[in-house]
Amino acid sequence: MVIRDHREGKMLPHPFRRRWRRRRRSVATVTRPLLISTLGGVLALLGQLATALAAEAPRQSPAAIEHAAESFLRQALAAEYEHFEVSARGVDSRLSLEACDDTLEAFIPHGRDAARASTVGVRCTGSVPWTVYVRMEIEAQAKVAVAARLLRRGTVLRAGDLRLAERDVRRMHSDWFTDSESLIGLEVQRTLREGSPIRSRDVDQPLLIRRNDRIRIQGGSGGRVSITARGRALEDGREGERIRAENIDSGREVEGWVIDRGTIQIGPRP
């Protein structure tokens, strides 16, 4: 209902409508905080329920994780080393993982060598998957080739220059040789003290030609006519390497493959 103001011709709101509008605003002001408070209580209750359910779920034993890491690493090392010791440094007891409902799988991160693995990963691929990393202590002993005496640079190795000795390969920062026979005939690249392990960077094929050596330049191969000329080496060369040389008779520079001491061959690689 409205009341018309006959003096000005305007429609005026009924007093009851004003009261209803004020009441509706008052109800809304009271209801909104109540809903927010109620919703907050429900969320808190759900959080407590989830925590309680998680606490009731069985937890993964840290000892089982350590055992999986140690067993895996022992099996990997046994294929290469006769003597080794492996132990896990321990899993944080504060770590709370749901018990795995599948077999634990261990692995070495980044594909590293087992003897140099400082950590082993253990993962669960069950209904609740997870992965943890276990720090390991390893000592791996192996018989490796070492210098039997002081070996100076340029020495071509013979059987008497080498012997086998046990070393902790974890402390060796390069590869090593377990068979001394494979080193015989190689040339020492730097002076080695007695007892020093022989590593791949310490030896190389011996130089068959040295710079400025007088050499023989050989041309032709197979059933073709062989031509030989005198030459002078312009660089060092090992068997199978291609080097530059000067033909003394013509003064021309040529390239050839080192095939023997003091001899290179021009043409396709032999």
Digits of tens for pLDDT over the chain (270 positions)?
Answer: 444 444 445 554 555 455 545 555 554 554 555 556 666 665 666 666 555 555 567 889 899 999 999 999 999 888 878 788 898 987 887 888 999 999 999 999 887 778 778 899 999 999 999 999 999 988 888 889 999 999 999 999 999 999 999 888 777 767 889 889 999 999 999 999 999 999 989 999 999 999 999 999 998 655 555 789 999 999 999 999 999 999 999 999 999 999 999 999 998 887
The whole-angstrom separation of Cα 124 and Cα 98 is 10
pLDDT at residue 46 in the model: 64
pLDDT at residue 58 in the model: 87
Identity of the amino acid at 28: A
pLDDT at residue 2 in the model: 45
Q: What letter would DSSP give residue 145?
A: E
pLDDT at residue 5 in the model: 46
pLDDT at residue 17 in the model: 54
The whole-angstrom separation of Cα 139 and Cα 220 is 56
pLDDT at residue 55 in the model: 53
CA 28 to each of CA 33, 72, 90, 152: distance values in angstroms, whole numbers, following the listed order? 9, 66, 59, 96
pLDDT at residue 14 in the model: 52
Strand 263-266 relative to strand 214-219, pairing = parallel
34 Cβ contact list (under 8 Å, min separation 6): none
pLDDT at residue 267 in the model: 87
pLDDT at residue 35 in the model: 55
188 Cβ contact list (under 8 Å, min separation 6): 151, 152, 153, 154, 155, 156, 157, 202, 203
Q: What letter would DSSP give residue 115?
A: G
pLDDT at residue 39 in the model: 64
206 Cβ contact list (under 8 Å, min separation 6): 156, 185, 186, 187, 238
Q: What letter would DSSP give residue 47?
A: H
Please give the model's pTM, rounded to 2 decimal places: 0.54
Number of Cβ within 10 Å of residue 221's Cβ equals 14
